[in-house]
Amino acid sequence: MAAPAIDHAMSTASQTQTITIAKGINQGLRAAMEADPKVIVMGEDVGKLGGVFRVTDGLQKDFGEQRVLDTPLAESGIIGTAVGLAIRGYRPVCEIQFDGFIFPGFDQIVSQVAKLHYRTQGRIKMPIVIRVPFGGGIGAVEHHSESPESLFAHTAGLKVVSCSNPVDAYWMIQQAIQCDDPVLFFEPKGRYHEKAQLDPTQTPYPLFRSRVVRTGSKATLVAYGPKVRTCLDAAAAAEEDGLDLEVIDLRTLSPLDLAPVFDSVRRTGRLVVVSEAASESSIASEVAARVQQECFYSLEAPVLRVTGFDSPYPPSKLEEEFLPDLDRVLHAVDRSLAW
């Protein structure tokens, strides 16, 4: 089975174009802003500069300074302002420059963004998207390479998603903006420049759904964001050894959509969950707990987790050790198979 993992090159129509993840989000933002004048992009350096990762490039030029707000360096103020804008019917899209910078805004996210809809019986909606470039692989250290998604998935009232490829990036950002709930949108910054074919006339895959991106029968790999590509590469390598692995892209971290994972594990009997975040109290832990609960009699081996270490993000020269890679994933698969 020669399996390109995500078959996006489906259309030969003239609409099809090659885009990166960064460009996908950019074009998705553009489409959302064209569709709804209440969509406002805001954050540090998002306007004139177009974002430190150029994800908002050109938006202020085309939509003006009232739609793309360059804010001071003030994450609490940015999120707080977004709460006020959402109360008045806007759909703010806040960019947090790097994962580790979100914490000054954490209080506003957890105490206000997550709770106002509940507290006001739905009279106040919080259709806020908070974009967070996350994860490692860019040669930086802590504050710039972290994976804080579990902290938000743990908070009732928030939704948390992560895109792994350019096509999802394009659609998921638009779907997140259309969602009436607050969405933490985690972008795999180490893979911003990976390319794929996008046909914007295609029907998008639903936002809060996980997806089997490669079918296989010997073991199941579950990942999200930057580690989906790692798992696909691992599966491709395993295939050369005659080992047929299934890969599932979670896509949504809250709410988790685990039905496809349960179906898969019932067939394969083995599960390895891969993420850059530390394993303690993580998304990977939650997946493992739910799978053992739902698939207990199908499991041939314990659920294994391949994650970043339970430490602060290490010096950049050590990130190859820290980040789960193809070898660590396949080693875990071997351990599962040898159980």
Partner 1 sequence: MTEPAQTLRDSLYRTIRLIRRFEERSIDLVKAGEIGSGIHPCIGQEAVATGVCAALDPDDIILSSHRGHGHLLAKGSDPGRVLAEMAGRVTGIDKARGGSFHPSDLSAGVYNATGTVGHGAAIAAGIAWASAKAGDGKVIVSFFGDGAVSQGALLEGFNLAALWQLPVVYVCENNGYATTLPVETAVAGTITGRGEAFGIPSRSVDGQDPEVVLAAAAEAVARARSGGGPSLIECRTYRYHGHHTFELKARLKYRDETEIAAWRERDPMDIQAARVDAGTRERIDAEIEELLDDVVRFAVDSPRPDAVDAQDYQYATGLRTRAGVADA
Catalytic site residues? 144
Q: Which of 64, 122, 139, 302 binds partner 1 (CB under 8 A)?
A: 122
Q: How many binding residues for partner 1 (CB under 8 A)? A: 48
DSSP, res 113: I
CB of 294 to partner 1, least distance (A): 11
R_g (Cα) of the chain, nearest Å: 20
User: Are 228 and 166 spatial neighbours (Cβ–Cβ below 8 Å)?
Assistant: no
> Closest Cα to residue 256, out of 204, 217, 208?
208
Q: Which of 36, 45, 57, 107 binds partner 1 (CB under 8 A)?
A: 107
Nearer to partner 1, 12 or 66 (CB): 66
How crowded is residue 137: how many other Cβ atoms within 10 Å of its Cβ?
18
Interface region with partner 1, contact rule CB under 8 A, candidates 1-9, 89-97, 230-238, 328-336: 89-97
Q: Which of 17, 18, 120, 217 binds partner 1 (CB under 8 A)?
A: 120
61 binds partner 1 (CB under 8 A): no
DSSP, res 5: S
Q: Which of 27, 60, 81, 97 binds partner 1 (CB under 8 A)?
A: 81
Residue 173's H or E segment, with its range, is helix 166-178
Distance CA 334, CA 71 (A): 49
Distance CA 80, CA 230 (A): 36
109 binds partner 1 (CB under 8 A): no
> Closest Cα to residue 71, out of 63, 80, 62, 180?
80
108 binds partner 1 (CB under 8 A): yes
Task: Give me 261's structure tokens.
Answer: 């994972």
CB of 136 to partner 1, least distance (A): 26
User: Are 27 and 173 spatial neighbours (Cβ–Cβ below 8 Å)?
Assistant: no
Q: Which of 29, 116, 234, 272 binds partner 1 (CB under 8 A)?
A: 116
H runs (alpha helix) in the chain: 21-35, 59-63, 75-87, 106-107, 116-119, 149-153, 166-178, 226-240, 259-268, 283-294, 319-322, 326-337
In DSSP terms, 195 is beta-bridged to 20
Q: What distance, in Å, lies between the first and last C-alpha atoms of the chain?
A: 26
Interface region with partner 1, contact rule CB under 8 A, candidates 123-131, 197-205, 307-315, 326-334: 123-131
SS3 of 105, please? helix
142 binds partner 1 (CB under 8 A): no
Interface region with partner 1, contact rule CB under 8 A, candidates 108-116, 166-174, 229-237, 296-304: 108-116
153 binds partner 1 (CB under 8 A): yes
Q: Which of 118, 139, 217, 312 binds partner 1 (CB under 8 A)?
A: 118
Q: Which of residues 206-265 bind partner 1 (CB under 8 A)?
A: 208, 254-256
Q: Which of residues 256-315 bind partner 1 (CB under 8 A)?
A: 256
Cβ neighbors of 260 (< 8 A, separation 6 or more) are: 210, 211, 212, 248
Nearer to partner 1, 159 or 214 (CB): 159
Interface region with partner 1, contact rule CB under 8 A, candidates 173-181, 188-196, 237-245, 321-329: 173-181
> Closest Cα to residue 322, out of 161, 185, 190, 130?
190
Residues that bind partner 1 (CB under 8 A): 66, 71-72, 74, 76-90, 92, 104, 107-108, 111-112, 116-127, 153, 156-157, 159, 179-181, 208, 254-256
